């Protein structure tokens, strides 16, 4: 049996020669088999990167088939991924709710009253309340941010809650 002139794919000149010999054929194979939508150039480059990573394991005689197998598998994986994406795009969120129109209207009215009541609060109370209830900050964090004591923050928050409860009876 004839001994190969190039035993190691890890040699830079051998690797370059493989790229020059097979890159165009790999691209054409991928393009003709799967089309342009999966970006054949990327698949070819990915295959050659994988070949470089595994150059010690792949003998020169098997490099061509290794590259074609990698390109084919990468293309098939891309197509599978595209199918999954399309499947999930096809699923539409439900366009209905189980809530009655009256409930939706009451909810909107409540939110308007709540926003009005929130806007009527003094600025210090509103800021402390929003930092605590909306952003989830702890009393000490708010105190540090505003440069006041923790007790002052607590008083602002609880006073704001009392005022909101008075203005909106549903709370």
Give residue-wise pLDDT tens across range 33-91: 888 888 899 999 999 999 999 888 888 889 999 999 999 999 889 889 888 888 888 77
Q: Output the pLDDT for position 10.
A: 87
Name residue, tokens 């969120």.
93
Q: Give the pLDDT band (50/70/90) at residue 7.
A: low
Confidence of residue 32 (pLDDT cuts 50, 70, 90): confident
Contact by Cβ (8 Å): 160, 168: no
Helix axis angle, 150-167 relative to 123-133, nearest 10°? 100
Beta-carbon contacts of residue 31 (< 8 Å; ≥ 6 apart): 40
Distance CA 78, CA 60 (A): 27
With beta carbons less than 8 A apart as the criterion, state whether 51 and 18 touch. yes
Neighbours of 75 (CB within 10 A): 21
Domain boundaries, the chain: 12-90, 101-167
Q: What is the CATH number of domain 101-167?
A: 1.10.10.10
Do 15 and 55 touch, CB atoms closer than 8 A?
Answer: yes
- Return the pLDDT at 155: 94
pLDDT, tens digit (0-9, with 9 covering 90-100), for 18-30: 999 999 999 888 8
C-beta separation of 27 from 44 below 8 A: yes
Q: Kindly report, residue by residue over 115-168, the tens digit of the pLDDT.
A: 888 888 998 999 999 999 888 999 999 999 889 999 999 999 999 999 988 888
């Amino acid at each position: 049996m004839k001994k190969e002139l190039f035993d190691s794919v890890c040699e830079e000149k051998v690797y370059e020669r493989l790229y020059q010999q097979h890159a165009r054929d790999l691209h054409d194979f991928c393009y003709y088999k799967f089309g342009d939508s999966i970006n054949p150039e990327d698949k070819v480059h990915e295959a050659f990167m994988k070949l470089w990573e595994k150059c010690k394991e792949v003998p020169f005689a098997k490099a061509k088939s290794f590259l074609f197998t990698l390109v084919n598998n990468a293309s098939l994986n891309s197509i599978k991924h595209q199918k999954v994406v399309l499947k999930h795009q096809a699923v539409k969120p439900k366009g209905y709710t189980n809530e009655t129109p009256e409930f939706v209207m009451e909810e909107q009215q409540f939110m308007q009253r709540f926003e009005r009541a929130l806007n009527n609060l003094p600025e210090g109370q509103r800021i402390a309340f929003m930092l605590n209830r909306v952003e989830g900050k702890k009393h000490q964090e708010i105190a540090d941010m505003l440069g006041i004591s923790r007790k002052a923050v607590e008083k602002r928050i609880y006073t704001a809650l009392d005022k909101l409860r008075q203005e909106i009876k549903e709370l």
